[in-house]
Structure 1
Amino acid sequence: MTLTDRLTGDLAPGRPGIGADAALDAFVEWAGERGFALYPAQEEAVLALAEGAHVVLATPTGSGKSLVAVAAHAQALATGRRSWYTAPIKALVSEKFFALVETFGAQQVGMLTGDAAVNPGAPIICATAEVLANHALRERDASDIGLVVMDEFHFYGEPDRGWAWQVPLLLLPETQMLLMSATLGDTTELERDLRRRTDRDVVAVTGVERPVPLEHEWVLTAVHETIELLLRDDRAPVYVVSFTQAGAVEQAQALASVDVVGAERKAALKEAVGGFRFGPGFGQTLRRLVLHGIGVHHAGMLPKYRRLVETLAQAGLLAVICGTDTLGVGINVPIRTVLLTSLIKYDGRRQRVLRAREFHQIAGRAGRAGFDTVGYVVVQAPEHVIENSKALARAGGDPKKERRIVRKKPPEGVLTYTEATYDKLVTAAPEPLRPKMRVTHAMVLNVLDQWEGQQEALHTLVLDNHEDEARREALLERAVQVLGSLVRAGVVEPDDGSSVEDWVPADAEPAPADAPATPAPPAPDAPEPAPEPAGPGNALGALGEALAAAGLTPTPPAQHPSEAAGTTGDVPAPGDGDAAAERTAAEPTPIERFVRRAGRRYDEGPFQVALDLHDGFALNQPLSAFALAALELLDRESPEYALDVVSVIEATLDDPRQILMAQQFEARGEAVAAMKADGLEYEERMEALDDVTWPRPLAELLELSLRTYRQRHPWVDPRDLSPKSVVREMFERALGFGEFVAHYKLARAEGIVLRYLTDAYRALRSTVPMSARTEELDDLVEWLGEVVRHTDSSLLDEWEALTHPSDEPGAVVRPPGENRKLSANPRALRVMVRQSMFRRVELLSLGRWQALAALDGGLTAEAWQDAAAEYLTEYDEVPTGPAARGPALFRVEDETDRWVVTQIIDDPEGDHDWRITAELDLGATDEAGEPALTVTGFAPTT
C-alpha cells in the first residue's frame, strides 16, 4: 500500500482529500510501519507545515529532511493542493522522482527537467529549480502550486543560478514553502522577507545534532593505501571524491586490480546488472568496474550510467564509488566513508580551496542513519606532504638524519593546502547566503507571456527583491535594456494602443536642456494609430544594409561593461563618480517609468509576445535575441540554409570545452601534417598553429553582425558569441552519437556531449521562429531530437516500468535498458538513413573502398572499386556539396518490414543516372538502435 492510499481516493489537484490533520496522522502511521520514528526536529517541521507555516529546515545531512518533504507532499495531496519538489541538478531530480513514485505511486508523480517530461499533469511534480522559476515567471498568481519543497536551498547564493531559488519566493506569495539545506547559515533576513510578502508564519528548524556523528581524519598515506585500509577496517562503502571527472575515472581504474568485494557480492552484482545495455567505450569500462564492485559517478556520464551506479549503491552492492563533488548536491548514494583526495577545486574560473559550505555538504554525506553509528570523513594530505612524512618516518627520530632530509615542495604555481586548512574547514560555519538575482531576455519574455500583472511582476523582480539598493538599480538598468531590445526586435509588441516608438523612440539628436521630459506611454482610452507589428525580420533594424554599406566592417560600439576594468557579470555594475551622477540625472525612459511603476499603473498589459512566434518560443541564451535577428541575414534559398541556421544557434550556446578541444586537437594534427608535407620548419609550424582552432562556421559574418547589433544594444557582451560546429559536423558527416564520441575519443565525456546536443535541440526548437523554418530544417531538428532521445531514454523507461510493475513477487528492480524503437519515429529514421547513405557517397568520393565495405555486408571493397572505376569513365568526380546531400536526391520505398532506399549521385553533368541502392531492415534497426542498412548495388539506371 502506498502513502497515497491512506490519504485520499480522489487524486485530482484542487479536490479535497482527508484534510491536513488526518493526513498528519496517516503519515505518522505510515512512517512508523517503515521503522521511521520522527526526531524532534522532524516533528517540529511536520507540525508547522500542517499548521500552514513556511518552514526553513536547516538541519544536518542525515537528519531526515527527505522524510519531512514526504510529509509536506502528503499534506498537500490530502488537502487538494498540487506540490512541487525542486533540486539543482537533474540527477537529484530523477532520484527523488523515483523515490516519490515508490512512496505515492507512479500515477501521482511527474517530472520536468527541461530535457525530459514524465507524467507532467501529476499532483506531485519533481523539477529543476529553473523549471519552477520559469513557471512562476509565466503563471505567477494564476499558478496552481499549493506547496513547494526547495531542496539544496543553499544554491540561492550561487552567482549563475541563485535567481532560480529567489524567483518563486518573490512571485508565488500564496504558495507554502519548505526550504531545506544542511548548510544555510543565518536565515534571519530571508525569514523576515518571507513573512512580509506572504503574511504567513515562518518556522526555522535549525541547530540539530546529527543522528550519525562524524569522525574526521587527516591521513598521510597514498590514496590507494588509504582505500585498502578503509576496506580492511570495515569502513565501506567509500566515496572517493576527486574534483575532475578524469581523476574520478582514473582512480576507479587504479582500483580494478584490488579485490574490493568477494565472490558472493560479485555474483549478486552480475545478477543485478542483468541485461543492462552498456555502450561501447566508457560503457564497457564501467561494466568491468561495477562487476568488480567499483562505481563511477560524475556529471560527464550519461544519465543511464549514473542511475545504474545509484541503484547498485542503494542495493548495497558497491564497496567503492569514485566520483566528483556531485555527492555534495544531495545524491542519495548510501556511504559510510567520504574520502577527499584534495581540498582544492577548479570552479570554472580558477583553482581555489573548498569553501566551508562545500566541505560540509560533501562531508555530511558520510554515515547512513539506521545503518551506521558513525560516519567517517577522511582527507588526503597533498602528495608532497605525504612524501615528507614518509621521509621523516624513515629517519626514525634521528635528528641527524632528519636534518639531511631534503623536504619536497608543492609543484611551482600549484595551489596547495595544509593540515591547518583542513582543521579550519572542519570547524568553520557555512558562509552567509547572499542573493544573486539577475535579469535575462528569457525571464522578461516569460513575464510578458501572461497579460495580467506584467508591470507588478517586473517591478517585484527588479526593485522589490532580496538585493540591496545598488544592485536593484543595476538590475533596473539591465531590465530596461532587455525589454527595449525585445520591443525593437519585434519579439514583444505593444498591445494597448501605443506604438513601438512610444516605448523605444528612434535615435535622435540630444535634446536641449530645457526640452520637455519624455512623456509616459499613452493611455488606452486615447490611442494613436499603431503601426503594423514589427516582426522578427526587423530585429536588427538596418543590419543588412549597414553591413553592406560598411563593407562588412561596421563601426565598433561603445565598450561593454565586461570589457572595462573592474566590472564583470551580466548585470551592469553600479558606477561611481560622473557616470553614476549622469545616470541619476538622466530623465527616465518610458520603459524605466513602466518598471518603476512611476506614473501610470497597469493591471494588465501593455505588452504581448508577437503572435507569429510559435508555441514554446523562448530566448534562453544571452545572445538568443541576436540569434533571432541574425537569421534574417541567411539566404533561405541556399542549399546550406538549414545548416547555417544551426550554426547561428550553436554560436550562442555555452562552449562544451571537451568537445571543442578534441576538435582543435584533430585540426592541429591535420595542419601539422600538411605543413610538414609543405616543408615548413618547426618554428614556422608552431607559430601557424596558433591560428588553428575548432571549426567556426559563419564566424566572420556573425562577429561583424554582432558589432553592428551592439551599436543599438551596447550592453550585449561580445564574449557570449562563440561559433562552433558540433551538431552541424555530426549532420554533415552523417555521424551518430556513438560514432562522434568514438571519433573524438570523448568516451569519458559522453554526458557532456549529450547535454550539449540536448541544449542545441531545445534552442533550435524554441528560438527559431516559424517564419525562418523550412522542411529541411525541421527534418534536421527531428533527427537531432531522436539522437538525444535514443542515446538515453532511461528516465522514461524506468517510469514506464514502475507504471506497469512486474507480476513476479520480489522481482529485482534492475536499471532499464533502452527499448525505444527507432522505427516509431519514421521522420527521424528517414533522416538518419539519408545521412548513412550520404556517408557512403563521401567515402566513395574519397576512394575508401575498405571503409565502404566495412559499413555493411553488401558490396565488397573490390565491387565498390570496380563500380567506381566504371563511374569515373563517365565523370571526373563524385560531388559531395550541399546539393549532393539534399533530400531531392534521396528516395525511400516503405514496405512492411523493410525500406528500399536510393541515393542518387549528383554527377557533374547533372544526369543523375548513377545511384546507390540499399535495403533497411526495420527489425534489425530497432534492435541495433541505428539504421541497419545493406547496400545492394552501385550502378547507373537501366
Structure 2
Amino acid sequence: MSEQNDTPDRDALASEYFDLLPFEPYPVQEESLLAYFTGDQGVLVCAPTGTGKTLIAEAAVYEALRTGKRMYYTTPLIALTDQKLDELRESAVRWGFAEDQVGLVTGNRTVNANAPVLVVVAEILLNRLLNPEAFDFAEVSSVVMDEFHSFNDPERGIVWELTLALLPPHVRTMLLSATVGNALEFTSWLSRAHNRRLQLVSGTERKVPLQYEWIDDEILGDFAEKIAAGDDEQRRTPSLMFCFSRSQCWTNAELLKGKKLIDKERQGELADYLNAADMSRGAGPKLKQILMRGVGVHHAGVLPRYRRMVEELFQRKLLSVCVCTETLAAGINLPARSVVLPNLLKGPRDKKKLVETASAQQIFGRAGRPQFDDRGYVFALAHEDDVKINRWREKYDSIPEDTKDPGLLKAKKQLKKKMPKRRSGESYWTQQQFVQLYEAESANLSSRGRLPWRLLAYLFGKDPAVQPIRDMVGRRLLTPQRIEEAQRDLNRMLITLWSAGYVELDPKPKAAAPKKGPPKKGDKQKADAAQATAGLFGELLDKMRGDEPADAGESEDNDDPELIESRGYEVDSYKPVTATPTDRLERLVHLRSINPLFGVYLADQLAIADPDERIAALESVLLVPGTVARFTRMPRIDEMPPGTLATTRLDPRLLQLGLATAEELGAVSESEDEEVTDRGFGRVMFDEPRVWPLTIGEKILRLFRSEFPRVHNVDVRPVWIVGDLLQYGGDFNKYVTTKKLQKDEGILFRHCLRMILLLDEMANVPPAETTVETWEDPLDDIAEKLTETCRNIDPESTDEMLSQSGSEMDELTEIGRRNS
C-alpha cells in the first residue's frame, strides 16, 4: 500500500480506512469518521474519555500517508508526544507504510523532523504558523488537536486558540475533546470568528460504561488487597490509584507494599526485570522494593527513567496498582480496569478543596479497557476516620437497645465509651460530594489567559500594525464585557512595552488625570522604611536623599517613561495605530522559560552579580514546587552574605524607593539582638514577628514590580539547588541522599534541565555592560557542568531535552510558561 499510484478521493479513503479497522467501530466513532471524510473543514468530536478517539484521529494520519500529503498531530503535553509517536508508528507499519514516515518535534526532542506525519506539542505548530516563510502549509492536509479541552487551560489554552485562528482555510481540523458543555456554541464561535465550519459529533455513552462505588467500610490497604484477589473475572485490577500530592503517593505506595497484590508468577517476572535494571541510586532502592510487590509510583518526583519503567511494567500487566498524581489522567495510556481515589480533596492542609469537576471526570475516565473489560470501576474511599466510625456504628447498632442480656449491655456500654470521632482541624469528604463530581455537567470552553508578552513582541517584530492584534482580541470566545477588558489589557501591555523602551507607539499614550484621595500605600511604606533604617543603612539612605534634587518625582515631563509608568495612563479610549520595534524588542523573543520582560530585567541586573548571586537569582525564577522549596532553601545570610549586586545596587535602590526595610536587607534589630542573648541562656524570646532577610531573587522582583506594575503573574521562589549541587561536585546521588530528597529527585532533575535551558536563553540577552567573556562564558560553564551531571542521572532524558538546543528551540517554540 505504500506504493503511491492514483490519489484516491475521500470516499475511497473512507472505505479503505474502514476496511483496515481491526473491529467494528461503535456509533460515535463511525459518525465522527464519516463527518471527517465528508466535511470540507473538519470535525469537533466531544466524547467521554475512553471512547476510542485515537481510532478517529488515525483516519487523518492514514489520509496523509495514503495521499502523500503532510499532517500534524498535536497534543498539549510533551509527556503525551512520545506515546503518540510510538502508537502512530505501529499503525503506519500495520497499514504498510514505513515507520520513519511518522516523526516528532517538541521543544525538547526531534525524531524524523521531515516526516510527512509529525507529532508535535501545540506550541510547535503555532511557531510554524507564525513563520510561513520557513514552513510551507500548502501541502498540509489536516491537523489533529488531541485533548482539545486543554483550550480551557488558563496558561496554555491561548496557544490552541491562536493556532485555530492562523490555520489556512484548506487545512482540515479534527478537534478531539472530552465532553464539553457548550460544544454547539463553540462551533458557532469558530464559524463566526474564524470562518472555520466544523461538524459537531457529540457522544455521551462509553463503550465500556463506568460503575461508581462509594467505599465507606474499608481502609485503603485492605481494600486494595480485596480488589486484587480472585481470578481474572473477579479482580478489579490493574488499578490506577490517584493521589493529589507526591508525598501522598509515596505514603500510599509504602502502605500497599506489605499487601498481597500479585501472584507468584508475576512476582517472578518482576524480580527478573528489576534485578537486571540499575536501581541502586537515589529513590531506586525504595522504588524497587515497592515495584517488587506489584505497585508502581508515577509522578513528577520520580526520575523519568523510573517512570518509563513503571509505564512498561503496568502495560505488561505485571503491576496491580499504579499510585499516581492527576497528571497521568491527561492522556498517558496506562490501561486500567479500575480507578481508586483514597481522597477527594486537594490543596494545602489548611486549605483543602474538592477536586475540580473537569479534573475528576478526566480521572474517572481512565477506568475500563475496551479490549478487556465490560465495564470500568471507579472507587472513592471514605476518610479512614469515617470508616472507623462506620465500623463502630455497625457493631454498636448490632446490639439491640432493649436487650436484657447483662453481657450485651456491658459490651454496648464499653463500645459507647470507645466511640471514634472526627479530628479537629482534619478535612473530610462525603459520598454526596463524590456523586456531585460524577453527575456534574461538563465544563464550557472559553478563551483563557492574556496574550503572551513574547508573542506580542514577536508579532510586532513582523508587523508594527496594532489593529490586526486588536481584531484578534475582539474575536476571542468571551462575553462582551470581558472583550472590553481584554482590549484595555492590550493597551496596558502596549504602554508597558513603550515605557520600557521596547516599542515606539504612534500616537503616544496620554497620562491619566491624577486621582484625588488618601495617601498612597507607597507613601506610608517609604515613611516606615525611613524610620526603620539605622546604622550603615541609615547613613546610606541619608546620603542618597541629600543627593536628590528637591523636586525629584514631581516633574511634569510626560516624556519620562519611568514617571509615566508610575502615574498611570488613559487606557479606555487609547487606540495606537503602530507599535514600531526598537533595537531592544528582539531580546524578549529569546526568552521562553520565564516572563521575557522579567527575564531581560533580570539579565540587566545580573551584569555585575557575583557567581553565587547569579546562580541564586536564576534558580529562583524556575519556581520549583513549594513542597520541594521548603527543603532546598537559600543559605542563611550569615552563611552566604550579600554579594556585589546586592550591596552596590539592589539594597541602596530598595531603601531609596522605600521598597524594603533595613531589617529585610539584613540589618539586625534590637529584638534580634535580645534573641541572640537569650539563646545563650537556652531561651528564645520574640517581641515582634521575625523579619526574614530578602534573597537576591526577591530583591530583584520587588524592584521589577515597582517599575512594571502592570506585568502580572511574575514570581520567584528562592531555592539553592544548583548552587548546592555544584558544591557537591555535581554528584547528584550524594546530594539527594545527604539532603534526604530522594522522593523528589525527579523534580530536582527537571530543575537542573530547566536551568540548562534558561542559561542558554539568557546567554542570548547579554546586558550592555558585559562582554562574551564576562557574560556568556560563566553561563556556559555552569551549563556544561549541569549537563554532565544530568547525563549521569538519566542520559536518555537529558539528550532528549537538550538535543534541540540551538536549532528549533531558537525559534518561537514555547509560548509562555510550561505546566509540565
TM-score, normalization by structure 2? 0.75
CA shift digits 1:682-710 (9 cap, x unpaired): 652778994558x934654x256325xx3
Secondary structure (helix, strand or coil) at the match of 1:426 reads: helix
Cα separation, partners in 2 of 1:365 and 1:723, compared to 1, 3 Å: closer
Q: What's the CA shift for 1:103?
A: 2.4
Give the residue type in structure 2 aligned to 1:189: E
Secondary structure (helix, strand or coil) at the match of 1:55 reads: strand
Secondary structure (helix, strand or coil) at the match of 2:340 reads: strand
Q: 2: CA distance between counterparts of 1:553 and 1:146?
A: 65
Answer whether contact 1:58 1:206 (CA < 8 A) is retained. yes
CA shift digits 1:793-848 (9 cap, x unpaired): 43688x9xxxxxxxxxxxxxxxxxx9x99xxxxxxxxxxxxxxxxxxxxxxxxxxx
Q: Which has the higher contact order (CA 8 A, sep 6+)?
A: 2
Mapped pair 1:621 → 2:594 = yes
Question: Equivalent residues in 2 for 1:221-370 (5 A)?
Answer: 221-232=218-229, 233-273=234-274, 275-278=276-279, 280-346=281-347, 350-370=351-371
Q: 1: CA distance between counterparts of 2:765 and 2:86?
A: 37
Question: Equivalent residues in 2 for 1:752-771 (5 A)?
Answer: 752-769=747-764, 771=766
CA shift digits 1:200-233 (9 cap, x unpaired): 4322221342111222111121011111111124
Question: Equivalent residues in 2 for 1:460-859 (5 A)?
Answer: 460-487=471-498, 489=500, 492=502, 500=504, 502=506, 583-584=571-572, 586=573, 588=574, 590=576, 593-594=577-578, 607=581, 617-622=590-595, 624-635=596-607, 640=610, 643-664=612-633, 679-680=679-680, 684=684, 690-691=690-691, 696-697=695-696, 699-700=698-699, 702-703=700-701, 705-706=703-704, 710-711=706-707, 713-717=708-712, 720-769=715-764, 771-772=766-767, 773-794=775-796
Answer whether contact 1:325 1:362 (CA < 8 A) is retained. yes
State the match for 1:542 in structure 2: none
Mapped pair 1:60 → 2:48 = yes
- In the alignment of these two chains, the number of paired residues is 700
Q: What's the CA shift for 1:301?
A: 1.7
Cα separation, partners in 2 of 1:460 and 1:282, compared to 1, 3 Å: farther
Cα separation, partners in 2 of 1:139 and 1:424, compared to 1, 3 Å: same
Question: Equivalent residues in 2 for 1:127-146 (5 A)?
Answer: 127-137=120-130, 144=137, 146=141
Answer whether contact 1:463 1:476 (CA < 8 A) is retained. yes
Secondary structure (helix, strand or coil) at the match of 1:312 reads: helix
- Report sequence identity in percent: 28
Q: What's the CA shift for 1:118?
A: 3.4
Answer whether contact 2:465 2:578 (CA < 8 A) is retained. no
CA shift digits 1:576-635 (9 cap, x unpaired): xxx99x753x5x153xx448xxxxxxxxxx548759759x7125423x323313433445
Give the residue type in structure 2 aligned to 1:122: A
Give the residue type in structure 2 aligned to 1:42: Q
Answer whether contact 2:632 2:719 (CA < 8 A) is retained. no
Give the residue type in structure 2 aligned to 1:654: L
State the match for 1:24 in structure 2: 14
Q: 1: CA distance between counterparts of 2:638 and 2:424?
A: 30
Gap regions ≥5 residues in structure 2: 93-97, 402-411, 515-540, 555-567, 641-671, 768-774, 804-820
Cα separation, partners in 2 of 1:438 and 1:390, compared to 1, 3 Å: same
Answer whether contact 1:57 1:205 (CA < 8 A) is retained. yes
TM-score, normalization by structure 1? 0.66
Cα separation, partners in 2 of 1:137 and 1:697, compared to 1, 3 Å: same
Q: 1: CA distance between counterparts of 2:337 and 2:512?
A: 71
State the match for 1:176 in structure 2: 172
State the match for 2:104 in structure 1: 111
Q: What's the CA shift for 1:66?
A: 1.0
Answer whether contact 2:11 2:37 (CA < 8 A) is retained. yes
Give the residue type in structure 2 aligned to 1:39: Y
Give the residue type in structure 1 aligned to 2:344: L
Q: What's the CA shift for 1:386?
A: 0.8
Q: What's the CA shift for 1:369?
A: 0.4
Q: 2: CA distance between counterparts of 1:553 and 1:743?
A: 51
Mapped pair 1:42 → 2:23 = no
Question: Equivalent residues in 2 for 1:858-873 (5 A)?
Answer: none
State the match for 1:78 in structure 2: 66
The CA RMSD measured in Å over matched residues stands at 4.2
Mapped pair 1:445 → 2:457 = yes
Give the residue type in structure 1 aligned to 2:183: T
Q: 2: CA distance between counterparts of 1:552 and 1:281?
A: 56
Answer whether contact 1:697 1:725 (CA < 8 A) is retained. no
Q: 2: CA distance between counterparts of 1:275 and 1:483?
A: 58
Q: What's the CA shift for 1:335?
A: 0.9
Q: 2: CA distance between counterparts of 1:188 and 1:556?
A: 58
State the match for 2:444 in structure 1: 432
CA shift digits 1:306-341 (9 cap, x unpaired): 222111111121111111222321221111111110
Answer whether contact 2:45 2:201 (CA < 8 A) is retained. yes
Answer whether contact 1:173 1:197 (CA < 8 A) is retained. no
Q: 2: CA distance between counterparts of 1:715 and 1:504?
A: 18
Give the residue type in structure 2 aligned to 1:46: L
Q: What's the CA shift for 1:262?
A: 1.9
Mapped pair 1:217 → 2:219 = no
Cα separation, partners in 2 of 1:74 and 1:718, compared to 1, 3 Å: closer
State the match for 1:600 in structure 2: none
State the match for 1:885 in structure 2: none
Q: 2: CA distance between counterparts of 1:631 and 1:796?
A: 26
Secondary structure (helix, strand or coil) at the match of 1:416 reads: coil
Cα separation, partners in 2 of 1:687 and 1:459, compared to 1, 3 Å: same
Q: 1: CA distance between counterparts of 2:472 and 2:682?
A: 57
Cα separation, partners in 2 of 1:634 and 1:377, compared to 1, 3 Å: closer
Moved more, 477-486 or 176-185: 477-486
Secondary structure (helix, strand or coil) at the match of 1:720 reads: coil
State the match for 2:117 in structure 1: 124
Q: 2: CA distance between counterparts of 1:295 and 1:692?
A: 41
Give the residue type in structure 1 aligned to 2:237: A
Moved more, 456-465 or 406-415: 406-415
Cα separation, partners in 2 of 1:247 and 1:22, compared to 1, 3 Å: same
Q: What's the CA shift for 1:676?
A: 8.9
CA shift digits 1:275-304 (9 cap, x unpaired): 433351212222222233211111222222
Q: 1: CA distance between counterparts of 2:638 and 2:431?
A: 44
Q: 2: CA distance between counterparts of 1:45 and 1:453?
A: 42
Cα separation, partners in 2 of 1:285 and 1:112, compared to 1, 3 Å: farther
Answer whether contact 1:547 1:705 (CA < 8 A) is retained. no
Q: 2: CA distance between counterparts of 1:109 and 1:90?
A: 16
State the match for 1:93 in structure 2: 81
Answer whether contact 1:7 1:74 (CA < 8 A) is retained. no
State the match for 2:665 in structure 1: none
Secondary structure (helix, strand or coil) at the match of 2:317 reads: coil
CA shift digits 1:467-504 (9 cap, x unpaired): 222322333333333344445555x56xxxxxx37565
Cα separation, partners in 2 of 1:556 and 1:619, compared to 1, 3 Å: farther
Answer whether contact 2:701 2:715 (CA < 8 A) is retained. no
Q: What's the CA shift for 1:655?
A: 3.9
Q: 2: CA distance between counterparts of 1:249 and 1:25?
A: 50
Q: What's the CA shift for 1:59?
A: 1.6
